[in-house]
Structure 1
Amino acid sequence: MRKEGCCLYYSRKRPITDLPEEMTTIWSCTNEKCNGWMRDNFVFSAQPVCAQCNSFMVKVEKMLPILTNTSPNQEKN
């Protein structure tokens, strides 16, 4: 027997419109068939390569939700 109202759906997702955004420096893949990119403050090398296709990456800016990297390993080699 199923109890009414026993299964409630809780979503942790917040609407994107509620998140503050800022222009963020990212590394974008140079391969036109790949859409790989990563935030500059999350890379571990001075010149990263794309994790999806191993192509070179270039620095560009993109409007993204604000994130803070709290990792102690932020130094780029």
Structure 2
Amino acid sequence: MYYSRKRLMDDLPEEVTAIWSCTNEKCNGWMRDNFVLSARPTCVQCNSFMEKGEKLLPVLENANHKQSK
């Protein structure tokens, strides 16, 4: 049986999600807010500060988000 990856991506529901984006213009790093381990994260790629924003992303649940920030 054949399954197309593109079709699976089209079926995923999307929502506006809180994210942290890198402030360095040369870096395109970002992460979902519910996967951040500190109150003020730094970029794992370049160690720059990150700022809060929003992005339209597929819905994804973090089962380990019980940690306090």
Q: TM-score band (shorter)?
A: 0.7 to 0.9
What is the rounded CA distance, in whole Å, between the counterparts of 2:29 and 2:67 in structure 1? 20
Alignment of 1:1-77 (within 5 A): 13=5, 15-71=8-64, 73-76=66-69
Could you tell me how far 1:75 is from its partner in structure 2? 1.6
Deviations 1:14-69 (A, max 9, x none): 53211000000000000010000000000000000000000000000000000000
SS at match of 2:19: strand
Instruction: Give the TM-score, by structure 1 length.
Output: 0.78
Q: How many residues align?
A: 68
Could you tell me how far 1:74 is from its partner in structure 2? 2.8
Name stretches of at least 5 consecutive residues in structure 1 with no aligned partner.
Answer: 1-7
Larger Rg: 1
Would you tell me which structure has more helix in proportion to its own residues? 2
Q: Which moved more, 1:11-20 or 1:54-63?
A: 11-20
SS at match of 2:10: helix
Contact 2:34/2:65 (8 A) holds in 1: no
Instruction: Give the TM-score, by structure 2 length.
Output: 0.86
Give % identity. 66
33 and 18 in structure 1: CA distance in 2 versus 1, 3 angstrom threshold? same
Name stretches of at least 5 consecutive residues in structure 2 with no aligned partner.
Answer: none
